[in-house]
Chains A and B, each alone.
Chain A
Amino acid sequence: MSNVALEVKNLESWYGESHILHGVNFSVRDGEVVTLLGRNGAGRSTILKTILGLTSKRKGSIEVFGKETIALPTYQIARLGIGYCPEERGIFASLDTEENLLLPPKVSSGGMDVEEIYEMFPNLYERRNSPGTRLSGGEQQMLAMARILRTGAKLLLLDEITEGLAPVIVQKLGEVVTKLRNKGFTIVLVEQNFRFAAGLADRHYVVEGGQIVEVVQHSELEAKAELLNGYLGV
């Protein structure tokens, strides 16, 4: 499989008046895992949001599974098969845990079923009738990740999924991502936690000032460690 799942060209993006992305280019083939690395405020989350059309204005080209989406409304982009896990988690207070989990509509077949998900995150099973925002910080993080696994989306945009999770869970998430990848999912990962990302990704993009300033292939990690260190302060 070498179809392109996501192709971003000359992407620019704005929040109101502030111009955040200044021409971002990258592409992800089917079944690849890539990460976006960078300092706080570099614009990584903004890249994910812009792909889904969640910023106030955008320019350039974004092809999702071969379809140009720059002019589409958010919900139609999502229906092309994108699953999004936002950094602020976005758990709904007025829905209970299970309703939160069942909320995102299926966009295609082949999603995990609920049993499988509960098995993966036993905490959620235990708290399934509790209002979504009454979960602990980490549980909410799990829920945000879990709910998109159900939808059958093949392109996952994951923003800081390890944030605030216990080391065991982080480890488990690493296994999940590997598993997903083996199943043929395409994943764009925004990570602060470099060690977590390093082992998983085919390729790393370093974002700075709203542009991609460096690409590091998995095989080049050792060689470019110094360079990465300079960008990220690892």
Chain B
Amino acid sequence: MEIFGLSSSALLSQLLLGLVNGSFYAILSLGLAVIFGLLNVINFSHGAMFMLGAIVTWMAGQYFGINYWVMLLLSPLIVGLVGIVIERLLLRHLYQLDHLYGLLLTFGLTLFIEGVLRSIYGASGLAYNTPEALGGATDLGFMVLPNYRAWVVFASLTVCFATWYIIEKTSIGAYLRAGTENPKLVQAFGVNFPLMTTLTYGFGVALAAFSGVLAAPIIQISPLMGSNLIIIVFAVVVIGGMGSIMGSILTGLGLGLIEGLTKVFYPQASSTVVFAIMVIVLLFRPAGLFGREK
């Protein structure tokens, strides 16, 4: 069977690849959405945190011989701690101000972190191998899918839905959402909100680091690896509806698929298609696909 001059098996394999990318977008935009939705901070340094996640993984392997599986846990923790320090020292003082200031600060941080790492590790990248257990590939009939990619989809979706559950279905989530609007009042109800925001930022950043670990074996690890991704991930969050957790997960996956198809039919446009979709979505749905209108 052929669709648009493409065999259905080829189409299917492209869709599957789209899903793999989509799960990266999903988890990255999820972290961004958590931070935006709950702290009202546009975390420009999300890409840098993604990169840190990957580089920390590499460093642990290089200098201490710690393997991938340990780092899958450890790297988000370490980067999460970095996030906590940033929040405590800097971000904390900007909450009452316009979004722009958080954006500017995290932008500055990004330049700084990327610059420092680049001057240490250079720009061309560091090599990291796929863990043994996930090497090889599985023949699905219509394509051969590397096992590692299948793992990526599984791991990121699991984390995404767990996060969604915590935020939308537990009272922690309600405190956080309320605290975004009126942090003082939430504290006046007896909630230790400053601690919660700190942890939330750490958590959002840890999500980025987690996807950094997932990416380490398949994408070139370099200090600049996050900067190309960040703007697309922003677009995903906006299309999904700023702050909507489920929105960013589903949009991330969906856009991965659409981008995958674009790569077949008009590959040059594959990084622009996201923006075209964003314009169309926003013109018809003012607050994004899943966003609540104010």
Residues on A facing B (Cβ under 8 Å): 52, 54, 73-76, 78-79, 82, 84, 86, 90, 92-95, 99-100, 102-105, 107, 131, 151
Q: Which residues of A contact B177 (CB under 8 A)?
A: 92, 94-95
B175 and chain A: residue at smallest CB distance: A103
- In the complex, given contacts A73-B194, A78-B190, A103-B178, what are 10 additional A-B residue pairs having Cβ atoms less than 8 angstroms apart? A54-B188, A73-B187, A74-B187, A78-B187, A79-B190, A86-B185, A92-B181, A93-B294, A94-B177, A105-B191
C-alpha gap A99/B184 in the complex (Å): 18
Residues on B facing A (Cβ under 8 Å): 171, 174-175, 177-178, 180-182, 184-194, 243, 292, 294
Interface of B is mostly: helix
Contacts A93-B294, A104-B190, A105-B190 given; does A74 touch B174 at CB 8 Å: no
Residue among A73, A74, A93 with most chain B CB within 10 A: A74
C-alpha gap A187/B21 in the complex (Å): 58
Does A90 lie within 8 Å of B292, measured CB to CB? no
Contacts A93-B294, A94-B292 given; does A104 touch B189 at CB 8 Å: yes
B38 and chain A: residue at smallest CB distance: A94
Q: Which residues of B contact A75 (CB under 8 A)?
A: 187-193
Which of A76, A78, A93, A131 is B189 in contact with, Cβ under 8 Å? Answer: A78
C-alpha gap A82/B188 in the complex (Å): 8
B176 and chain A: residue at smallest CB distance: A94
C-alpha gap A75/B196 in the complex (Å): 12
Shortest A169–chain B CB gap in Å is 23
Cβ-closest 8 pairs across A and B? A78-B190, A104-B189, A74-B187, A79-B190, A90-B185, A92-B178, A94-B177, A75-B187
B195 and chain A: residue at smallest CB distance: A75
Which of A74, A95, A102 is B188 in contact with, Cβ under 8 Å? Answer: A74
Does B181 lie within 8 Å of A103, measured CB to CB? no
Contacts A75-B193, A131-B292 given; does A94 touch B188 at CB 8 Å: no
C-alpha gap A54/B183 in the complex (Å): 10
C-alpha gap A75/B175 in the complex (Å): 13
Q: Which residues of A contact B243 (CB under 8 A)?
A: 94
Q: Which residues of B contact A103 (CB under 8 A)?
A: 171, 174-175, 178, 186, 189
6 sampled A-B residue pairs with Cβ under 8 A? A74-B188, A75-B189, A93-B181, A93-B294, A94-B181, A102-B174
Residue among A90, A107, A151 with most chain B CB within 10 A: A90
Residue among B187, B194, B292 with most chain A CB within 10 A: B187
Contacts A94-B292, A105-B189 given; does A74 touch B178 at CB 8 Å: no
Does A78 lie within 8 Å of B174, measured CB to CB? no
C-alpha gap A100/B188 in the complex (Å): 14
Does B174 lie within 8 Å of A54, measured CB to CB? no
Q: Which residues of B contact A86 (CB under 8 A)?
A: 185, 188
Q: Which residues of B contact A52 (CB under 8 A)?
A: 188
Residue among B171, B178, B192 with most chain A CB within 10 A: B178
Which of B174, B188, B192, B194 is A99 in contact with, Cβ under 8 Å? Answer: B174
Which of A76, A93, A95, A131 is B174 in contact with, Cβ under 8 Å? Answer: A95
Does B294 lie within 8 Å of A78, measured CB to CB? no
Shortest B16–chain A CB gap in Å is 36
Q: Which residues of A contact B292 (CB under 8 A)?
A: 94, 131
B189 and chain A: residue at smallest CB distance: A104
Q: Which residues of A contact B192 (CB under 8 A)?
A: 73, 75
Q: Which residues of B contact A82 (CB under 8 A)?
A: 188
C-alpha gap A95/B294 in the complex (Å): 12
A144 and chain B: residue at smallest CB distance: B185
C-alpha gap A65/B174 in the complex (Å): 29
Q: Which residues of B contact A84 (CB under 8 A)?
A: 185, 188-189
Shortest A71–chain B CB gap in Å is 15
C-alpha gap A93/B292 in the complex (Å): 10
Q: Which residues of A contact B191 (CB under 8 A)?
A: 75, 105
C-alpha gap A76/B193 in the complex (Å): 11
